Amino acid sequence: VNNEYSSTITLIPISQLKTTSSTAAADIKAYLTQIDGLRPQELADGQAIATAIQSAATGNVQPLSQARVRIAQFSAALKGVSTPKPAQEYQQLYVSLIDFTVQQLQAIEQNATGDQAKAAQAVLNIQNTLPSYVTRLSSLRATVEGASNQ
């Protein structure tokens, strides 16, 4: 089904994440520090991705390719982070959103100079899908931060 307004994010099974049964505030705090330290600049600065996408549309896919590789590496690194129990729902959504983003960036990269309708669809998928999930992620993050301060 091609829904131009939104697509859904497939959640990675918790079993594919590195989890611990810890609920200790210190472990949660360490987890947050670790994942924040791994985040690539491209995800901290949304403009970098937008610029890379525009550049791909004009035939230069290298910036987009580099961004996609760094974000994919971030996803792989995230999956290896020990995640305390109170952060598992957050981690699951975070990794799932990153993987979704990588898939869409790959579709843009592969179709930027060929099937522009496919590339445009991937851009729409990002624009229309991510915001509501990012809002949910922020809310989960606040809950996890609260648990880290117990």
Q: Is the pLDDT of residue 22 over 50?
A: yes
Confidence of residue 7 (pLDDT cuts 50, 70, 90): low
- The residue behind tokens 């880290």 is 148
- Enumerate residues 6+ apart whose C-beta is below 8 A from 134: 97
Q: Is the pLDDT of residue 5 over 60?
A: no
Backbone angles phi, psi at 83, to 5 degrees: -110, 115
Distance CA 147, CA 150 (A): 5
Distance CA 56, CA 113 (A): 7
pLDDT score, position 4: 45
Confidence of residue 2 (pLDDT cuts 50, 70, 90): very low
Q: Is the pLDDT of residue 1 over 50?
A: no
Q: Which residues pair with 83 in a beta bridge?
A: 19
Q: Which residues pair with 19 in a beta bridge?
A: 83
Distance CA 87, CA 109 (A): 32
- Enumerate residues 6+ apart whose C-beta is below 8 A from 14: 88, 92
Identify whether the C-beta of residue 88 lies closer than 8 Å to the C-beta of residue 125. Answer: no
Confidence of residue 130 (pLDDT cuts 50, 70, 90): confident
- pLDDT mean over 12-19: 95
pLDDT, tens digit, 9 for 90 and up, residues 57-83 = 888 999 999 999 999 999 999 999 999
pLDDT, tens digit, 9 for 90 and up, residues 86-102 = 999 999 999 999 999 99
pLDDT score, position 113: 82
